[in-house]
């Protein structure tokens, strides 16, 4: 089918040249995406497309990666978007982007997308944030704050919080060592990391939301375009600046995918987002007044009363030839014993937490109203295969105090730091409510809700209650489990991998396992 010369050419860009399944390599994202999107409009194979429409018999022997033509690919995307309005083609190319020196507030906005983006962020659980750059702590100094009357108060408050955080690192590590001496079966590496992780877990309550961090994102063009558009609509200058920088850099890699984020189309979308946010917040502020009486950490606010019947109907439907109407009728008329048998059979084979129930469990939904410190929220926010929304970060909902701070005699210092941060937030928020979030420490509480189905609930609760999890979010997830099981015992009967125990040291066993795996790697590859 192909000449020897063509085969040599194809071998540079495909993992094989003679099998029906192959992967692409050494091609710009825009070319890969355009080639895939051409599938729907041609009878040619992908190999034929590359040769006839993109490389066009050029001299491959002297061509480097940057020399591979992308103009045709970009023209194709423009034509598709104009002629067909097919935005989905922008999902066929992707890019990796690093976002360094961004605030903790910004990372949550960058990570909000439910699909299309895969973020990874520097962890406050395993890395200390006490480093200085040019003699200054690393926190966001947004232009709007630093040019306002609150600049001095803001800088003073953030510095105070970082001073407290830094001052307590060594005392906290010493305390942890005193209550958890190194076990004989634990390496120095594993022990040091376990102690470090525990100290990080405790002390992060001091970190202000302005703390700068690093993160990376892999995503497709469509998701990036929407993210950047949304960030341009933010009332915060840091977010707008990140949007501009991201569009500029992604424009060098996948220009056709992200150019609409700030063109006439994108600006119309931005204006819609801005106006909706402003007008809705204004209306709600006059209608919704808190009486301050609700302080439960976890509330099961709503759930499907007919969850079991919906799940059973879905099981019947997918394992038979009857209609959904018939499945629902049959499920409704079944005896309690038979209902229990169906759900039991569907879940009883689970032997570990990765064995999630089938998709029938996606037909039952639960809404949890959660009140937890900002550290907890940040940890659980990564679960995006669900519906979640947070409230603006404030100091109005109080704060948590780790018992370890009491044990090392730092409770008074902590309360004083929280009080000063609260006073700073109150002054700044009177005129700059969005920017005031930066000064709020992780220890302060925030409200958010999760609406998720029973299948995702299995995943979330069994994963986030494992021993090495942070004790704060483990507690939240344990409470969610108790409430869910009380609502529907049969549905959650075989959610058997939720760990309801409490642990003083979370990372010890996990680090021992890492040591064993590291030893296996050394044996395999040598030192």
Which of 187-196, 368-377, 429-438, 480-489 is least confident? Answer: 187-196
Burial 121-140 (b: 16+ CB within 10 A, else e): beebbeeebbeeeeeebbbb
Number of H helices and number of E strands within the chain? 22, 9
The strand order across the sheet containing 445-453 reads: 298-303, 365-373, 445-453, 387-390
**pLDDT (tens digit, 9 = 90+) per residue, 425-483?**
999 999 999 999 999 999 999 999 999 999 999 999 999 999 989 999 999 999 999 99
Cβ pair 446, 390 in contact under 8 A: yes
Indicate whether 408 pLDDT > 90: yes
Measure Cα distances from 500 to 100, 412, 493 in Å: 37, 31, 15
- Distance between alpha carbon 111 and the CA centroid of its chain, in Å? 5
Cβ pair 457, 434 in contact under 8 A: no
Spans of all domains in the chain: 4-91, 305-347
Rounded to whole angstroms, how far apart are CA atoms 146 and 438?
A: 12
Share of the chain above pLDDT 90, in %: 72
pLDDT band at 74 (very low <50, low <70, confident <90, very high): low
Indicate whether 47 pLDDT > 60: yes
Q: So what's the pLDDT on residue 448?
A: 98
pLDDT band at 85 (very low <50, low <70, confident <90, very high): low
Indicate whether 62 pLDDT > 50: no
**pLDDT (tens digit, 9 = 90+) per residue, 255-280?**
878 889 999 999 999 999 999 999 99
Indicate whether 511 pLDDT > 90: no
Task: Name the DSSP class of 451.
Answer: E
**From the CA atom positions of the chain, what is the Rg in Å?**
27
Measure Cα distances from 405 to 208, 371, 412, 461, 479 in Å: 17, 21, 9, 28, 24
Burial 443-452 (b: 16+ CB within 10 A, else e): bbbbbbbbbb
Structure tokens at 407: 């044990």
Q: So what's the pLDDT on residue 505?
A: 77
Rounded to whole angstroms, how far apart are CA atoms 68 and 76?
A: 16
Task: Supply the mean pLDDT for the chain.
Answer: 90
> Averaged over 8-20, what is the pLDDT?
91
Nearest Cα to 311, choosing from 366, 367, 365, 361? Answer: 361
Question: How many residues are there in the chain?
Answer: 527
Measure Cα distances from 352 to 348, 357, 459, 510 in Å: 11, 11, 11, 17
What is the pTM for the complete model shown? 0.88
Q: So what's the pLDDT on residue 228?
A: 96
């Amino acid at each position: 089918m192909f000449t020897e010369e063509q085969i040599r050419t194809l071998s540079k860009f495909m993992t094989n040249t003679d099998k029906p399944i192959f992967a692409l390599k050494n091609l710009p994202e825009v070319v890969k995406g355009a080639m895939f999107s051409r599938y729907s409009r041609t009878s040619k194979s992908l190999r034929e497309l590359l040769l006839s429409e993109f490389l066009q018999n050029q001299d491959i022997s002297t061509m480097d990666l940057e020399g591979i033509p992308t103009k045709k690919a970009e023209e194709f995307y423009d034509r598709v978007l104009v002629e067909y309005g097919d935005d989905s083609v922008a999902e066929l190319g992707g890019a990796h982007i690093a976002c360094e020196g961004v605030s903790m507030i910004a990372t949550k906005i960058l990570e909000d997308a439910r699909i299309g983006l895969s973020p990874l962020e520097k962890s406050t659980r395993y890395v200390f944030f006490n480093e200085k750059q040019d003699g200054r702590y690393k926190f966001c100094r947004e232009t709007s704050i630093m040019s306002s009357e609150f600049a001095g108060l803001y800088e003073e408050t953030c510095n105070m919080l970082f001073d407290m955080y830094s001052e307590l690192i060594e005392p906290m590590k010493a305390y942890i060592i005193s209550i958890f001496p190194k076990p004989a079966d634990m390496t120095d590496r594993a022990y040091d990391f376990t102690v470090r992780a525990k100290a990080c877990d405790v002390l992060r309550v001091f970190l202000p939301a302005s703390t700068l961090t690093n993160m990376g994102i892999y995503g497709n063009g469509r998701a990036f375009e929407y993210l950047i558009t949304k960030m341009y609509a933010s009332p915060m200058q840091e977010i707008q600046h990140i949007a501009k920088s991201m569009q500029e850099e992604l424009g060098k890699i996948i220009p056709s995918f992200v150019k609409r984020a700030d063109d006439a189309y994108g600006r119309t979308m931005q204006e819609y987002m801005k106006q909706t946010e402003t007008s809705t917040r204004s209306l709600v502020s006059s209608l919704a007044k808190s009486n301050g009486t609700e302080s439960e950490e976890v509330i099961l606010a709503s759930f499907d009363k007919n969850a079991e019947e919906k799940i059973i109907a879905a099981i019947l439907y997918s394992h038979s030839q009857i209609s959904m109407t018939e499945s629902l009728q049959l499920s409704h008329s079944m005896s309690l014993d038979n209902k229990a048998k169906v759900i039991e059979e569907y879940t009883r084979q689970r032997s570990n937490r990765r064995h999630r129930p089938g998709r029938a469990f996606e037909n039952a939904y639960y809404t949890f109203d959660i009140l937890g410190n900002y550290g907890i929220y940040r940890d659980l926010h990564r679960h995006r295969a669900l519906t979640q929304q947070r409230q603006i970060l404030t100091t109005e909902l109080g704060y948590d105090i780790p018992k370890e701070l009491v044990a090392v005699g730092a409770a008074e210092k902590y309360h004083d730091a929280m009080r000063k941060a609260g006073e700073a937030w109150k002054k700044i928020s009177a005129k700059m409510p969005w920017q005031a979030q930066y000064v709020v420490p992780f220890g302060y509480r925030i409200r958010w809700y999760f609406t998720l189905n029973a299948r995702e609930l299995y995943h979330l609760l069994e994963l986030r209650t494992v021993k090495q999890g942070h004790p704060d979010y483990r507690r939240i997830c344990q409470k969610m489990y108790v409430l869910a099981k009380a609502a529907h015992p049969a549905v959650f009967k075989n959610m058997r991998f939720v760990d309801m125990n409490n642990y003083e040291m979370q990372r010890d066993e996990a680090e021992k396992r890492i040591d064993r795996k590291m030893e296996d790697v050394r044996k395999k590859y040598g030192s």
